[in-house]
Structure 1
Amino acid sequence: MTLNLSVDQVLTTTRSVRKRLDLDTPVPREVLTECLTLALQAPTGSNAQGWQWVFVEDADKKKALADIYLANARGYLSLPPPHYPEGDTRGERMDRVRESATYLAEHMHEVPVLMIPCLQGRVEQAPQLSASFWASLFPAVWSFCLALRSRGLGSCWTTLHLFGDGEKQAAAVLGIPYDEYSQGGLFPIAYTKGTDFRPAKRLPVEAVTHWNSW
């Protein structure tokens, strides 16, 4: 299924989907391959294309990854929420964000497919700034998320499994060569319950824009 969305609609309605992931409908491999084929057109430093993409359908491996994620999520979600000024839309939505994050952590193992994008090299050993390192992966990852949206699927860019020894544990579960590749996140992938996503409330562009100096 391909949604009849304009480019602007895809860009403004691709959300972090957690509670609206359809846990019961299978996701065909060919759809994921279509999305990844599009994503691989993204720019990458020196045209290195040092990315690898690990899709996980196996129930036992999904459960192992979800356990790593949940263990780290419990500590993170128990922290006090950030403080925002009164009237700030970020503070107004924080309870809903934490609720949906908790839901995802508890149901991660039920998602049809999990995906971990990897980039060749260890970020902590990269000779360049980490921003330069990840710039060779993150554009493709977001293109993948946009392609999912255009086909009625959703995801959420999560990183909690990377905390502590989590990345190394996930590498062991999936056979990822830890010393050779860095993991860029953990993405639950599913069709969405409905496709009527809307633009989110954001800070006004005037509040975050600078011209020629800060």
Structure 2
Amino acid sequence: MTADLLPLDPDELLTTTRSVRKRLDLERPVPLEIVKEALEVALQAPTGSNSQTWHWIVLTDPEIKRKVADLYAKSFAAYSANQPRHDDTARRVASSAQYLADTMAQVPVLVIGAIYSGGELPAGNQAGLWGSLLPGAWSLQLALRARGLGSAWTTLHLVYEKEVAEILGIPANIHQGVLLPVAYYTGTDFKPAGRKPLDDILHINGW
């Protein structure tokens, strides 16, 4: 099966690929072949020394998804209790995140991106490790979006990484880095998000 690609130019794809939560279609099945097709694209992302030590765990079984979703919801509850909601934007994000935590088990596909770590995570700056996984995860989100599928970047399940690893049989020398709920989405009016002005964060030839 080959998915029809949306007519998006590169800039539109990059600026309108949003974290989709409330607009995930929980009823429409997602063909595994479409996810695999998007993963084939994601595998072209860079990895350090071309090591390609990433692994992708795709969950479609309802009971397995439920177990992972329960741990995610438990982690989210603790996280949410300590988050400020001072303005409308923060409240909208909180409502969206709560919805995802409540419905995670119903999302058709969950994808966990993981990477070989050799055992314990390295001390100090870990950019060399995660830089070999996270670009692939973002490429996966872009490839999914180009095929009419939404996703959301989540990491709260990592509070219970060991428990998730036990559920899924992930070896001890593999560390998880991201969880992507994946579904078709409702509506098409995705727009660029508000961001800080470039000049506020841009440094030329030094800080």
Distance in 2 between the 1:171 and 1:33 partners? Answer: 22
Aligned residues: 204
1:205 to 186, 198, 201: 198
1:125 to 102, 116, 121: 121
Distance in 2 between the 1:38 and 1:80 partners? Answer: 36
Q: Does 1:147 align with 2:143?
A: yes
2:94 to 80, 92, 98: 98
Q: Which runs of 5+ in 2 are unaligned?
A: none
| 1:123–1:133 contact (8 Å) kept in structure 2 | no
How far off its partner does 1:211 sit? 1.1
Residues 1:30 and 1:132: Cα distance change in structure 2 (over 3 Å): same
Secondary structure class of the residue paired with 1:118 = strand
Using structure 1 for the length normalisation, give the TM-score: 0.91
Partner of 2:108: 112
Distance in 1 between the 2:20 and 2:200 partners? Answer: 26
Q: Does 1:171 align with 2:171?
A: no
Task: Report the identity percentage.
Answer: 50
Partner of 1:52: 55
Distance in 2 between the 1:100 and 1:124 partners? Answer: 34
How far off its partner does 1:191 sit? 0.4
How far off its partner does 1:206 sit? 1.0
Distance in 2 between the 1:122 and 1:98 partners? Answer: 36
Using structure 2 for the length normalisation, give the TM-score: 0.94
How far off its partner does 1:29 sit? 1.1
How far off its partner does 1:195 sit? 2.2
Secondary structure class of the residue paired with 2:55 = strand
Secondary structure class of the residue paired with 1:80 = coil
- The aligned amino acid for 1:41 is Q
Partner of 2:186: 193
Q: How is 1:2-81 mapped onto 2 (pairs within 5 angstroms)? A: 2-81=5-84
Distance in 2 between the 1:160 and 1:17 partners? Answer: 16
Bigger mean CA offset, 193-202 vs 45-54: 193-202
How far off its partner does 1:80 sit? 3.5
- The aligned amino acid for 2:34 is V
Secondary structure class of the residue paired with 1:185 = strand
Q: Which runs of 5+ in 1 are unaligned?
A: 84-90
Residues 1:128 and 1:50: Cα distance change in structure 2 (over 3 Å): farther
Partner of 2:177: 184
Q: Does 1:160 align with 2:156?
A: yes
- The aligned amino acid for 1:63 is R
**Deviation digits for residues 123-179 of structure 1, max 9, x if unmatched?**
85326731111000111110000001111101111011111xx101101111111x2
Bigger mean CA offset, 37-46 vs 115-124: 115-124
Residues 1:48 and 1:127: Cα distance change in structure 2 (over 3 Å): farther
- The aligned amino acid for 2:195 is R
| 1:61–1:173 contact (8 Å) kept in structure 2 | yes
Distance in 2 between the 1:193 and 1:103 partners? Answer: 15
